[in-house]
Structure 1
Amino acid sequence: MTKHVQWDLERLRIFLAVVQQGSLTRAAGALGLPQPAISRQVSRLEGECGGRLFHRNGRGVTLTPLGESILPRISSLLQEASELTAQLTDGARLPSGEVRLGALPSLYMVLCVPLFFELRESFPAIKLKIFEGSGGQIDQWLANGFIDLGLPYRYGTMRLAEVDPLVHVSSYVVGAPGSALTAEPTVRFSALHGQPLVLPGAPSGVRLTLDHMAKQAGITLNVAVEADSTQIQKAVTRLGGAYTVLPAHVAFEEVQAGTLQVSKIVEPEFERAIVLGTTTARPASRATRQVARSIREIFDRSDDFWSAHLR
């Protein structure tokens, strides 16, 4: 009949300590246990194994053939137990739960897609829900608690306690290929006077900022059509119906494809910041805080992209 043994991991650890120390006395000192307790545990293990595991001599102990044969298995078993403990401990510490993120549509490739893969790899227990919207929509979602984190724009000075600035980007006049207003790398803001424009409606941040800049410059903005959707703005512009004003990254793919043309606004420049906001409707969860950290890291890693295309 096969003998059934319930292996005691602590007893196996004592066996391994005796092997490593080469002495019951030294093993007792290393483990902080009295030597008689070490001796009892070794004797019990020998009984469970059906034979002596150590030769005793005046200088300490050495393994018997039986001890040598089981040493690799015991070492492997203890290593697996240690790895399992580490995995369970780390798993218990990993943040989990749903995080709702509001993002500008233009951030889908530079942020949203990398964020998904990073969370899946490092924090699989976090469930990410992404909602695309305009800056104004995202601010409203943050205010009413519909989302946990948001990535809207901010213009001019801002309260740093409210949001975390991630990157500052310049604004460009966007026109159809060959359009006169975007023929040069830069264009003065005053050149927008009287030109047909497709812009978001008030009270969007970009519209309020442009209206204020126009008043300061003494020019009139001819808003031919109001549209909050950047897709509509770009479509009207691409067909030559009007100009619009966007950060370069919003029209980057079209500029690369040659279907849109851009010129940086100067004198004065029109700069906006992409910021990270957290809702104040409820305390941020561990998962929310981790997603916020991951977003910051992705923006830091993509600094070359922003430097090359947006500033």
Structure 2
Amino acid sequence: MDLRQLRTFRSVAELGSLSKASDRLRVAQPALSRHIKLLEHELRVELFTRNGRGMILTSAGQMLLDRTSGVVRQIEQVRDDLQSIKGTPSGNVVLGLVPTVSCVLSAGFARRIVERFPDISLRIVESYGGHLVEWLHRGEMDLAIIYGPSTDLHLSVQTLGRDDLVAVGPHGCGLAQRKQVDIGWLAAQKLVLPSNSHGLRVLIEKAAARKSLSLNVSVEADSFRVLTSFVEEGLGFTVLPQSAVRTEVAQGRLEIADIVKPTLSRELILAAPADRPPSIATASISSLIRKEIQSLADDGLWNIRLAAQTERSVARGKRSQAK
């Protein structure tokens, strides 16, 4: 196996097509096909099932992808770092974002990357925290902004701040006039919330349990965009970060109120693989993330309580991994 063959294999596996892989790698299809055939011949297994819809990984192909994708990315990053030493940061960076962060951060941040680091190719992946953590461990992702707690993740983590949660209701529900509600008021309402496995749901359930209250959940959905659509339809109230519904509130489609007694908030962390140093490009993206969040907070676009000392948060995260 050589690096060219493994890069070809990974691209075809991710895209499911030789033609799409050819466009990404800028290599003619016959050459890519030859790489795949040589790899299959060397390994003595079929890596793909070929049909009219494209190329689908076999079980052997899936195993090879799982075992090698992180290694290939590390080799590519070494090459990018060597090229970056004499000039501006360059290379590919994969950044994972949970949906409620992506809706606030993605567009403006991507534009800033293009302006500041034109030689960095940024790929933003939106998914739930559990998936992002798994991809970080497998080496398929360089950075991810997820919700804590940061203990027991076995990742290098930096605390970015705490994101306060608010009660969210439909237009005309009266939340805007109330301005504040407590957990008792929430427990008395019909709620639309994520499923029990979701970190946000766990947080709300624990807050209710401490007051010996039970929640009246009428509908569950693990997509915050689906949750907000349910709220707009009048199916119930929900709980989300204020930043995630800022646009809908400004448009008069939703109303919000602070949650007090107790205040509900979530730790926001920047996570990276703990078993390898970040590339120069990744470190540049990491630094810019903190500046972008600071800027959003200063402009009132993100109601986040920023961490006072990020470096101390990093040390805490590393100590937690050692336990």
Normalised by the shorter chain, which TM-score bucket? 0.5 to 0.7
Q: Specify the alignment match of 1:250 in structure 2.
A: 244
Question: 1:187: Cα distance to partner?
Answer: 0.2
Code of the aligned partner of 1:279: P
Cross-structure match for 1:238: 232
Which whole-Å CA distance do the structure 1 matches of 2:216 and 2:235 have between them? 12
Query: Counterpart in 2 of 1:178?
Result: 172
* Corresponding position: 1:278 with 2:275: no
Instruction: State how far apart, in whole Å, the 2-side matches of 1:159 and 1:134 are.
Output: 15
Determine the C-alpha separation between the residues in 2 that align with 1:98 and 1:165: 24
Q: Provide Cα deviations, 1:229-265, integer angstroms capped at 9, x if missing partner.
A: 0111000001110111001111110100111011111
Residue 208 (structure 1) aligned with residue 202 (structure 2)? yes
Structure 1 length-normalised TM: 0.64
Aligned pairs for 1:294-305 (under 5 A) are 294-305=288-299
1:154 maps onto 2:116 in alignment: no
- The one-letter amino acid paired with 2:272 is T
Give 1:144 deviation, angstroms.
Answer: 3.1
In the alignment, which of 189, 198, 202 is matched to residue 192 of structure 2? 198
- Counterpart of 1:293 in 2: which secondary structure? helix
Query: Which TM-score applies when normalising by structure 2?
Result: 0.62
For residue 212 of structure 1, report the CA deviation from its aligned partner: 1.2
CA RMSD of superposed structures (Å)? 2.8
Alignment CA distance shift 1:307-1:235 (3 Å)? closer
Contact 2:155 2:271 in 1 (8 A): no
Q: Which amino acid aligns with 1:290?
A: S
Q: Which residue does 2:60 correspond to in 1?
A: none
From 168, 174, 178, give the equivalent of 2:162.
168
- How many matched pairs? 223
Please identify the structure whose Cα radius of gyration is greater. 1
Displacement of 1:199:
1.1
Amino acid at match of 2:161: V
Q: Which moved more, 1:209-218 or 1:160-169?
A: 160-169
> What are the equivalent positions in structure 2 for 1:30-109 lying under 5 Å apart?
92-108=86-102
**CA 1:306–1:140: 2 relative to 1, 3 Å:** farther
Determine if contact 2:98/2:127 at 8 Å carries over to the other structure: yes
The corresponding residue for 2:139 is 145
Tell me if structure 2 keeps the 8 A contact 1:247–1:310: no
Match of 1:266 in 2: 260
Matched-pair contact (CA < 8 Å) for 2:155–2:274: no
- Local SS of the residue matching 1:163: strand
Deviation at 1:90, TM superposition (A): 8.0
Partner of 1:227: 221
What displacement does 1:180 show? 4.7
1:218 pairs, out of 167, 187, 212, with 212
- The 1:139–1:190 alpha-carbon spacing in structure 2 relative to 1, beyond 3 Å, is farther
How far, CA to CA, are the matches of 1:159 and 1:93 in structure 2?
34
Among 104, 109, 113, the residue aligned to 2:107: 113
Distance (Å, rounded) in 1 between the aligned partners of 2:242 and 2:116: 32
Q: Which runs of 5+ in 2 are unaligned?
A: 1-82, 306-323
1:161 Cα offset (Å): 7.8
Alignment-mate amino acid for residue 294 of structure 2: D
Shift in Å at residue 191 of structure 1? 1.1
- 1:246 & 1:286 partners in 2: Cα distance? 34
More moved, 155-164 vs 276-285: 155-164
SS in 1 for 2:299: helix
Task: From the superposition, tell whether residues 183 and 239 of structure 1 become closer, same or farther in structure 2 (CA, over 3 Å).
Answer: farther
The 1:129/1:90 distance shift into structure 2, 3 A limit, reads closer
Instruction: Output the CA distance in 2 between the equivalents of 1:255 and 1:98.
Output: 36
| 5+ long unaligned stretches in structure 1 | 1-88
Structure 1 residues 159 and 102: alpha-carbon distance in aligned structure 2, compared to 1, 3 A threshold:
closer
Cα deviation code 1:34-92 (max 9, x no counterpart): xxxxxxxxxxxxxxxxxxxxxxxxxxxxxxxxxxxxxxxxxxxxxxxxxxxxxxx9882
SS of residue matched to 1:302: helix
Q: Paired residue for 1:72?
A: none
